[in-house]
Amino acid sequence: MSADCQEWTTTTYVARFADADRALAVADAQIKRWQPLLDRLADE
């Protein structure tokens, strides 16, 4: 039982890290996409 529980938690942590990694990649892509516009606004 405890081994199953431990395995499940590890799997959950790995899944969470993968999700966080994806979220960071998406956020990074969004920032790159909006950066030129932000730079233009900053120049005005």
Give pLDDT, residue 18: 87
Predicted TM-score of the model (pTM) = 0.52
Residue 28 domain-assigned?
yes
Residue 22 domain-assigned?
yes
Residue 7 domain-assigned?
no
Residue 37 domain-assigned?
yes
pLDDT digits (tens, 9 = 90+) for 3-18: 566 666 778 888 888 8
Match 């994806």 to its residue by tokens.
22
Q: Which domain holds residue 38?
A: 17-43
The Cβ-side half-sphere exposure at 42, using a 13 Å CA radius, reads 6
Residue 12 domain-assigned?
no
Angle at CA of residue 41, ends 27 and 28, nearest 5°:
10
Match 């799997």 to its residue by tokens.
11
Give pLDDT, residue 30: 93
How many domains are contained in the chain?
1
